[in-house]
């Protein structure tokens, strides 16, 4: 191959890479919004060992739709979470409840009517160097999943 062919090939590959990254970012953004709208944030897609909980964490940190959560709902969710030994241990380690996010699902009946329910909620716990997401089922009145993400800093 001559230099011109190599340069054209390199430019084509660079353009393809830029388009692929743009498409991936657009897809990730639309997936993040869809997770909140559809309420499917609790089941992440199979992404391999490192990205296993990526979709779930994106949903935990996403601003989501603007919902006003009553103090009674928030207290009920937190009380259910406090009964779980893993959540209690995290709170003893210094984590604090920073957010309670309802997971709203729309149920379509046979006649076409739509009912909205928030039978699950996501609690975000934070402390310096760590974040935990706790999924609470209000119908079962128990914690169904706890995901802890810590950041290790090595000072030299």
Tens-place pLDDT, residues 35-78: 444 444 444 444 454 454 555 555 555 655 567 889 999 999 99
- Average pLDDT over the chain reads 77
Q: So what's the pLDDT on residue 46?
A: 47
More confidently predicted of 67 and 88: 88
Q: So what's the pLDDT on residue 42?
A: 45
Task: Tell me, rounded to whole angstroms, the distance of Cα 65 from its chain centroid.
Answer: 14
For residues 144 and 120, give the distance between their C-alpha atoms in angstroms, rounded to a whole number. Answer: 10
Residue 134 φ then ψ, to 5°:
-120, 120
Q: How many CA atoms lie within 13 A of 57 on its CB side?
A: 13
Q: Look at residue 33 and tell me whether its pLDDT is greater than 50.
A: no
pTM above 0.75, yes or no: no
């Amino acid at each position: 191959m001559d230099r011109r062919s190599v340069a054209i090939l390199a430019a084509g590959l660079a353009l393809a890479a830029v388009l692929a990254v743009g498409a991936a970012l657009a897809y990730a953004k639309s997936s993040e919004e869809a997770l909140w709208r559809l309420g499917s944030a609790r089941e992440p897609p199979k992404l391999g060992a490192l990205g296993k909980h990526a979709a779930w964490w994106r949903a935990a940190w996403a601003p989501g739709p603007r919902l006003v959560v009553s103090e009674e709902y928030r207290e009920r969710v937190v009380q259910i979470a406090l009964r779980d030994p893993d959540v209690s241990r995290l709170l003893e380690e210094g984590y604090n409840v920073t957010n309670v996010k309802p997971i709203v699902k729309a149920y379509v009946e046979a006649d076409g009517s739509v009912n909205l329910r928030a039978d699950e909620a996501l609690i975000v716990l934070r402390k310096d160097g760590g974040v935990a997401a706790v999924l609470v089922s209000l119908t079962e009145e128990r914690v169904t999943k706890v995901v802890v993400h810590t950041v290790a800093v090595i000072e030299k």
